[in-house]
Amino acid sequence: MAKQHWKGGALLAPVPAVMVSCGNGDIDNIITIGWTGICSTHPPKLYISVRPERFSYSLIKESGEFCVNIPSSEMVRALDWCGVRSGKDCDKFKEMKLTKEDSFAVSCKSIAECPMTLECRVDKIIPLGSHDMFIADIVAVAVDEEIIDDKGRLMLEKADMLAYLHGDYFTLGKKIGDFGFSVRKKKTVAKRRRK
Ligand SMILES: Cc1cc2nc3c(=O)[nH]c(=O)nc-3n(C[C@H](O)[C@H](O)[C@H](O)COP(=O)(O)O)c2cc1C
């Protein structure tokens, strides 16, 4: 495999693209965020990186709260739109016909149409350069009952989530493994032998 060497760049992919809702009680806004991820399991924490010039930046900084709403692939137009229009000029909930939903643990609204919402309270803000990283505690999670099976297990594959690859949106493909499958004993082989 012949490789070219480029200078360092923000080229990690795929990443999620999420709709972060935020507000101060008077204004409810949505900002599309690609620079996000889990950064601790216990306690559960995630980060979002936001440019200080975004309208949402001060809403999040002042309230100390935001919601990471994970859209389904059929919401891709709203996802993109909220990432190219500013809440200082329009009401994104209204323009995209999205429903404001009361959150469980934070005061800002969630997006009812999204199958999963992570409600977050800001812990630390780390200035990094172009973006400030908001590290936040995930204080509650709202999940659509349609993606929970009768044993209470989360079936995220049914949420029809999407991925963001360097400017392009993609649906997800087929499942090709699961955590630890590479070292797991193959039960199916043993079962087959027993027959
Ligand atoms: C797919 C996508 C990903 C984005 N990721 C980020 C991001 O991680 N951080 C950020 O500050 N802006 C990001 N943006 C840009 C903001 O969403 C955009 O500037 C938005 O209009 C800001 O809204 P606001 O002015 O209402 O806060 C992204 C936009 C798109 C379309």
141-184 pLDDT, tens per residue? Answer: 999 999 999 999 999 999 999 999 999 999 999 999 999 999 99
- The CA-CA-CA angle for residues 27, 15, 52, to 5°, reads 40
Q: Is the pLDDT of residue 189 over 60?
A: no
Q: Is the pLDDT of residue 191 over 70?
A: no
Q: Which residue has the least CA distance to atom 31 on ligand 1?
A: 83
Q: Is the CB of 78 under 6 A from ligand 1?
A: no
Mean pLDDT along residues 126-139: 98
Give strand pairing partners of 110.
101
Q: What does the mean pLDDT of the chain come to?
A: 96
Fold of 18-194: Pnp Oxidase; Chain A (2.30.110)
Mean pLDDT along residues 39-64: 98
**Percent of the chain at pLDDT above 70?**
96
Structure tokens belonging to residue 26: 């008077």
pLDDT confidence bin for 25, thresholds 50/70/90: confident
Q: Is the CB of 55 under 6 A from ligand 1?
A: yes
Q: Is the pLDDT of residue 123 over 80?
A: yes
pLDDT of residue 195: 55
pLDDT of residue 194: 63
Q: Is the CB of 54 under 6 A from ligand 1?
A: yes
C-alpha span between 124 and 25 (Å, rounded): 22
pLDDT of residue 186: 77
pLDDT confidence bin for 135, thresholds 50/70/90: very high
Gyration radius of the chain over CA positions:
19
C-alpha of residue 6 to centroid of ligand 1, in Å: 25
Structure tokens belonging to residue 23: 């507000």
Mean pLDDT along residues 52-68: 98
C-alpha of residue 32 to centroid of ligand 1, in Å: 5
Mean pLDDT along residues 18-47: 97
Q: What's the pTM?
A: 0.95
